[in-house]
Structure 1
Amino acid sequence: MQLKRVVVTGLGALTPLGNNLNDYWNNLINGVSGAGPITRFDPTNFKTKFACELKDYNPLDYFDRKEVRKMDPFTQYAMITSTQAIEDSGLDLDAIDKLKAGVIWGSGIGGLKTFQDEVENFTTGERNPRFNPFFIPKMISDISAGMISMKYGFHGPNFVTVSACASATNAMIDAMTYIKLGKAKVMITGGSEASVVEAGMGGFNAMRALSERNDSPQTASRPFDKDRDGFVLGEGSGALILEEYEHAKARGAKIYAELVGGGMSADAHHITAPHPEGLGAYNVMLNVLEDAQMKPEEIDYINVHGTSTPLGDVSEVIAIEKVFGEHAYKLNISSTKSMTGHLLGAAGAIEAIASVMAIKHQIVPPTINHFTDDERFDPKLNFTFNKAQKRVVNAALSNTFGFGGHNTSVVFRKID
Structure 2
Amino acid sequence: MLSEQSVPIVRATLPAVGAAIGDIAELFYQKLFEDRPELLRDLFNRGNQANGEQRQALAGSVAAFAGMLLEHPGERPDAMLARIANKHASLGVTSDQYKLVHQHLFAAIADVLGDAVTPEVAAAWDEVYWLMANALIAAEARLYQEAGTAEGDVWRQMEIVERHEETPEVVSFRLRRTDGHPVALFRPGQYVSVRVQLPDGARQIRQYSLSAAPGCPQWRITVKRVRGAGGPEGEVSSWLHEHTKVGDELTVSVPFGDLVLREGDGPLLLVSAGIGSTPMLSVLDHLTAVGSTRPVVVVHADRSPAEHAHRDELRRLVEAHPNAKLHLWYEEAGDPAGEAATGQADVGLLDLPEGLTAYLCGPLPFMRAVRRDLLLRGVSARAIHYEVFGPDLWLGQQEEKAQA
Higher-Rg structure is 2
Higher relative contact order (CA 8 A, sep 6+): 1
User: Counting helix residues as a fraction of each chain, which structure ranks higher?
Assistant: 2
- With normalisation by structure 2, the TM-score equals 0.30
